[in-house]
Amino acid sequence: MISENDLIEEFDTVKKSGEGVCFFKDEMQTYTYNYWLHTSEDRDLLVVSKDLVDDELALAVIHQAPLSLPLNQPSLYAFAECSEKFTHVFVAPSGYHGYLKGLNVIDRSRLLLCVPIYRCEFVGDETPEEFRDMQLHLIPILDWTRAKHPRLRVYFDNPATGGGSDKSGVLLKLSVLSQEIENLNGVSDGFIEIKNWSGRVIEILSPDVDKFLLISNGGKEELMSRSEVLAHVSEFAVG
């Protein structure tokens, strides 16, 4: 259990923010990390934002957390109130993140990072490596004003550009995927296979210039224009 005295030893200002929650900051030259921490005998719940202070959102994340959360694997819970945008919370065990690391008096063994998310951003079974890569390169999880950044695993091959991946696929931003679809235009021997957060899969071929064939999970085929396929993929990514 992390105590208020432990925090006072490490941070300049520690204050109460709602029932049983401590608020403190880590101020850098160009940005500030804001922390909300709720501690108990069984677990420590940490919420972190960059620059923006939103006590209502942070406290809702903490107080809506289920009584039982695994300490050694990630989990998700639905976020019911106090957010106009976020729908769920991703819970990352201490081995998934580095917050409060390197502080001698802090016991991180039961420190769960609670991240407000859109449902399309995480599956819920991410490995520590995937979570860290997504946080660094794909989803700005500390930005509470962000738009949706859907999780997309993409298996593709484009002989015209030399781009592609192995069968396990790679995680791509929607903007990068959209560019790869543009690059596929008229490349009849290329393909793009996309899996979204819910496990649904679609495949895209381009048999001719400005013609795209979209194949859904059940094998249904639809011939689309460039603008139509891009719009469909955007909807598929978050749906």
Share of the chain above pLDDT 70, in %: 98
Handedness of CA 194, 216, 179, 231 (dihedral sign): negative
CA 118 and chain centroid, separation = 8
- Of the pLDDT bands very low, low, confident and very high (cuts 50, 70, 90), residue 3 is confident
Q: What is the mean pLDDT of residues 158-175?
A: 96
The conformation of residue 145, written as its DSSP 8-state character, comes to T
For residue 82, pLDDT over 60 is answered with no
Closest CA to 69 of 22, 133, 113: 113
Question: Whole-prediction pTM value?
Answer: 0.92
Structure tokens given for 169: 């696929």
pLDDT for 102 = 86
For residue 81, pLDDT over 70 is answered with no
Each domain of the chain, given as residue ranges in start order, spans 4-138, 153-238
Dist CA 115 CA 161 (whole Å): 37
Query: From residue 86, how far is each of 21, 169, 194 by CA, in Å?
Result: 21, 27, 24
Closest CA to 94 of 106, 104, 84, 86: 106
Residues 212 and 202: beta-carbon distance below 8 Å: no
76 bridge partner residues: 90
